[in-house]
Amino acid sequence: MLSSPAPTRIRPSRRWLLLSLALALGCQASAGGVEKKAADAEVVEQPSPVVVGTVERGAITATISAASTIEAERQVTVHSESVGRLVDLTVEEGDKVKEGQVLARIRFDAQANSLLRANTSLAKAQTDFQRIEQLYNERVLGNEEYQKARNQLDIAELDLRDRAREMKNTKVTAPFSGTVTVRKVTEGGFVTNGAELLQVTDFNTLVARVFVPEKELDRVRVGQEALVVGKAAKGRKGTGKVLRISPTVDAGTGTVKMTVALPQELAGGQGFLPGMYAEVTLTVDHREDVALVPKGAIVHDEEQTYVFVPEGDKARRVRVELGLQDAERVEIVKGLGAGDAVIVAGQTGLKDGAKIVRVDMQGRPEGGDAKPAGDDKPAEAKVDAKAEDAKAADKPDAKAEDAKAANKEN
């Protein structure tokens, strides 16, 4: 008699495999539910903190500021106009000189000899011409001999003037009254014709050249005052005047060159010097009793300008027209009036109708108490903590599951 086969038993290892698979599926389902809840929580719009101010009335002054380098309009480099060794260099950098004053001399031995020969040649030409002229008047000589003698006399006179000019050029003189700012040679050195010797600057002709936008051209004029402030060299400050306005516009930059003249009292060692860096500010307009808001409240969208105003717990976008501007404020010509509430901080990224919560400049809710101690976690961190708690609550206890599996095997 054949015996029936013994029932097949599932090995413990397979039981553990099935149990692990079930637990994994359960955890995935639980985690999926928690993630869905977290995603639903993120969809809820959170109010944006904003700072609310008011439109004020006051005065505003519009200015144009531009950087510039101080220059001297009368500044020249004195060149040698002769050849020879430099002697009698009588000035040094910083010395004041008068127009026509001798600054140095060039040895003139060769020039003196040339001048002497020219004088001798001229004397001979004059004697010859007088003799031939007398013979010509007596009709002994013809017109050809007379004209030849006359030409020789003219050439001798021209040569004498050239030699006299060369002799004069051995003296190096100041072209105008000013200050020696650069010395490029040393006494005793040999110089050639055209060599750079000295630089003379007239500090009474200091100017600052600035470039203003083309759109501001109608608001500036010759004689208008301009504030000049030294940037690197502190303590230099004064008022200059617009001396010239260029009649052309630079097509590449869209700017107009203006020359601002500095008064004499601003020039010199305690004032401005050529090459100094300065900022020039021109006042172009001024208005009294106008609506003003901080510049930070303005939002630009392409070519339009807007502000956000609070309406309950929401923000509304309002289009405005701007007027004058200074460093911190801007005039509202149309769209808001004095006393109107306006969002002055936190409006970046806001949309029309977005939820808001009012806070002060320190980020604390208006009219509310400070945050409780230790409660300084951001809202996002709190949401993540809640999600983690939910996952922990739905996750089965590992020890309990191990105990159940052991009972089944027994």
Distance CA 308, CA 341 (A): 9
Distance CA 333, CA 321 (A): 5
Could you tell me the two tokens for 138? 């007596």
Q: Please give the pLDDT value at position 176.
A: 93
Distance CA 38, CA 21 (A): 26
Residue 244 belongs to what H/E stretch? strand 237-245
Could you tell me the two tokens for 338? 């004095």
Q: Please give the pLDDT value at position 147.
A: 92
Distance CA 224, CA 222 (A): 6
The count of C-alpha atoms lying within 13 angstroms of the C-alpha of 186, restricted to the half-sphere facing its C-beta, is: 1
Q: Please give the pLDDT value at position 368.
A: 55
46-to-52, 240, 314, 354, 379 alpha-carbon distances in Å: 18, 55, 11, 9, 9
Instruction: Give the CA radius of gyration of the chain.
Output: 47
Chunked into runs of 10 residues, the chain (410 residues) has average pLDDT values of: 42 46 48 50 72 86 87 93 91 93 92 92 92 88 90 94 92 93 92 94 92 87 90 84 92 92 83 90 85 86 84 85 84 84 82 83 67 40 42 46 47
Q: Please give the pLDDT value at position 42.
A: 55
Q: Please give the pLDDT value at position 28.
A: 53
Q: Please give the pLDDT value at position 309.
A: 86
Among the residues of 179-330, which ranges form H helices?
Answer: none
pLDDT digits (tens, 9 = 90+) for 199-250: 999 999 999 999 988 888 888 899 889 999 988 877 788 899 999 999 999 9
Please say whether the beta carbons of 170 and 113 come within 8 A. no
Q: CA nearest 70: which of 226, 221, 198?
A: 226
Residues in contact with 363: Cβ distance below 8 Å, sequence separation at least 6, in sequence order? 49
Distance CA 85, CA 104 (A): 11
